[in-house]
Amino acid sequence: MYRLINVIDQYTHQITGQNLERLTDNAFIPFDPANTDYQTFKREVSEGVELQDPDGNVMTQEEVDAFLRTIP
């Protein structure tokens, strides 16, 4: 299971990006195609492993597929 985490600027309190958390061990995974954990994440969620949005809601497979098209 994975969850998207919003990155919030400490001064403006605006969302400036997102991070990825693997919930099994609370590891943060960078959106880096060279990172093997990132490659595993993309494969697993495309095969149906749960991905939560920043609010903790489980994303549908259609939402996951759309999200995957927006990242490297």
pLDDT (tens digit, 9 = 90+) per residue, 14-32? 988 889 999 999 999 999 9
Task: Give yes or no for residue 69 having a pLDDT over 90.
Answer: yes
pLDDT (tens digit, 9 = 90+) per residue, 36-55? 999 999 999 999 999 999 99
Amino acid at the residue 26: N
Neighbouring C-alpha atoms within 13 Å toward the C-beta of 70: 7
The first and second tokens of residue 8, run together, are: 């919030």
Residue 9: partners with Cβ closer than 8 Å, 6 or more residues away: 15, 16
Give the pTM.
0.88
Indicate the pairing of strand 15-22 with strand 2-8. antiparallel
Give the per-residue pLDDT at 56.
95
Q: Which residue ranges make up each domain of the chain?
A: 2-68
SS3 61: helix
